[in-house]
Structure 1
Amino acid sequence: MSTPQPPMPQTAAPNWQAAPGSSFPTYTSPIPVVRTHLGHALSSEWTKIRSVRSTMWTLGVFVLLVVGIGLGAASLVAANSDEASLRSENPLAFGSFGLLLGTMCIITLGVLTTASEYGTGMIRTTMTACPTRGRVLTAKAIVFFAVAFVVTLSSAVLVALADVALLEGARDPSGEEWLKGTVGISLFIALLGLLSLVVGSIIRHSAGAITIMIGVVLAPLVIAMFMFSQSLEDLQQALIEYSIPNQLSVFYSQSLTESGPSGWDPLWIMLGVTAAAFAGAYALLEKRDV
């Protein structure tokens, strides 16, 4: 019978310490590590907006509406009016008909710029690539506003020049009228599209956000037309004055009412509303799950 062996004494685990310096002193990563910034997000959003079909379709229809309706209205007036009746007309104002319908295209594109990513789930990839959510929304807003403004300005200038040439008997627009009828109206429509982009970010549903924005554009004026009660006269007046169609006409000095916004007021109103909506969208974006 064997004698049991005494247990081996326990020894402390060795305290290993890494040698000073890099574990792989001769290795260099082939992938450059770059700190990301807003420029990278802008480049990404520009690639998105110019590579999807919806951008080309909506902007193409927008240009056709603005140019086609603007030239058509001026041609009809020129063919059916005498020189005496045209002397008091502002030839730039005939471009407003196409611009009013064209806003639907800008609204649609603005909503799709944000809401479509939530519908397809692509927003998860976007936020993974750029975890700073506010930067993503800012980049989308800058890229979209630039595209909408340039396309609107180009179309408005083309229609304005053509209408002035068609309506030879009309008075010559002043410098301020040229500025308001081209740059001013383009800034207003681009801001309206930017408001649509922000609403798309808040609602996260393309059809719902587009419906809301169409209601914002058309509902006040339509509702006011059916207010026959004298007790609602003040409300009816306010709805007409601050409706989008009336604010568009203010840029051509053809307001539907004698009171209400005038001059550059519609631009400042739209700027304030868009800024407030953008602040709300930014706050929700930071709190919500993707």
Structure 2
Amino acid sequence: MTAQPTPRTPSPGAVRQAAPETSYTSPIPIRRTHLGHAITSEWTKIRSLRSTVWTLGIYLVLVVGIGLLVATKTHDTDYVDMPYTIPAFFGLILGQICLITLGVLVISSEYGTGMIRTTFTASPQRHRVLAAKMTVFFCVAFAVSVLSVGLVGLVTSRLHNDSSNRDWLDTVFKGSLYVSLLGVLALAVGSILRHSAGAITTVLALVLVPAILPAFLLIPHSTRPIGNKMMEYNAPNALAKIFHIDKGIDGGTAQLWVLAALTAVAVATAFALLERRDV
């Protein structure tokens, strides 16, 4: 019978030599990410996309170009009880379509190209990404709107020798806020539907259908109350109230609150679905 070899127990010194203690410190600083980092990332995206340059460029041409063209065709007596920003109203009616389109493309383009997977890999907290997109877009849309509407008002006041008796600065901020909220609503719908054409069509329907449908609802007596409400709160009439074309006591404040409430519902829905669905 062959004897089994006795296993040798290594000495403590040999163990220390076989597994020396080592430590490594990365030269790259590790920081906790926050919303500011996501906002910086989204700002880099939105200012480097050609779609942003084109849509905002067309928006400026429509608001400023049409506004100044209308201003040159008016007279001093037209502004006795009207704000100088009225010419910008005609450009905003068309320009709001640009902000709606850009709002949808800010998020739907990433779903279309698959880039959204990379975005969520870099920032796993999806709600932070969506909040950053909405914040950056709203700030850009509001700033560009204030600049364009304010420029039209300023040039118009110089052309007509300050003959207006109405303060026009409130129309600059309220009008800019209204169209910017429309863009945020479009962004939320784009996040919900994840399809550019479908989201743009949906938001345009929300804007245009209430402006067209009252023409038919006001004919039968039974549907007139619905038609009157649509006439009062649709987007063109809301802007008309803000710019004091359709004279009202609140100057479009009620319409602004309705749009804010509708946008809040869409934003809440977008955040809820974002966490529940796969990319």
The alignment's TM-score, normalised by the length of structure 1, stands at 0.86
Unaligned runs of 5+ in 2: 10-14
Q: Report what 2:170 is aligned to.
A: 180
Distance in 2 between the 1:96 and 1:6 partners?
103
Give the aligned partner of residue 152 of structure 2. 159
Report the 3-state secondary structure (helix = DSSP H, G, I; strand = E; otherwise coil) of the residue aligned with 2:70: helix
Correspondence list, 1:105-254, <5 A: 105-168=98-161, 170-174=163-167, 178-227=168-217, 228-254=219-245
Determine what percentage of the aligned residue pairs are the same residue. 46
Query: Any idea what the Cα deviations from partners look like across 1:198-232, whole Å, max 9, x if unmatched?
Result: 11100100111011111111111111123322222
Indicate the SS of the match to 1:77.
coil
In structure 1, the partner of 2:52 is 55
Q: CA deviation at 1:70?
A: 0.9
Secondary structure of the residue that 1:24 maps to in structure 2? coil
> CA separation of 1:89/1:271 partners in 2, compared to 1, >3 Å: closer, same or farther?
closer
In 2: Cα distance, 1:262 partner to 1:173 partner: 12
CA distance in 1, matches of 2:228, 2:238: 13
Work out the CA distance in 1 between the residues paired with 2:84 and 2:78.
12
Alignment of 1:38-77 (within 5 A): 38-77=35-74
Aligned CA distance change for structure 1 residues 183 and 85 (closer, same or farther; 3 Å):
closer
**Structure 2 CA distance for aligned equivalents of residues 225 and 214 of structure 1:** 18
Structure 2 CA distance, aligned partners of 1:86 and 1:220?
A: 30
The corresponding residue for 1:286 is 275
Change (3 A) 1:28 1:242: same
Give the count of matched residue pairs: 275
Write the distance in 2 (CA, Å) between the matches of 1:18 and 1:110. Answer: 63
Q: CA deviation at 1:29?
A: 1.2
Contact residue 91 and residue 170 of structure 1 kept, 8 A:
no
Structure 1 gaps, min length 5 = none
TM-score (norm 2): 0.89
Q: Classify 1:8/1:32 alpha carbon distance in 2 versus 1 (closer, same or farther; 3 Å).
A: same
Cα root mean square deviation, aligned: 2.8
CA distance in 2, matches of 1:71, 1:11: 96
1:282 Cα shift? 0.5
Q: 1:248 to 1:56 in 2, by over 3 A?
A: same
Q: 1:35 to 1:91 in 2, by over 3 A?
A: closer
Is this contact kept in 1: 2:184–2:263, CA < 8 A?
A: yes
Superposition deviation, residue 132 in structure 1: 0.4
Tell me if 1:24 matches 2:26. no
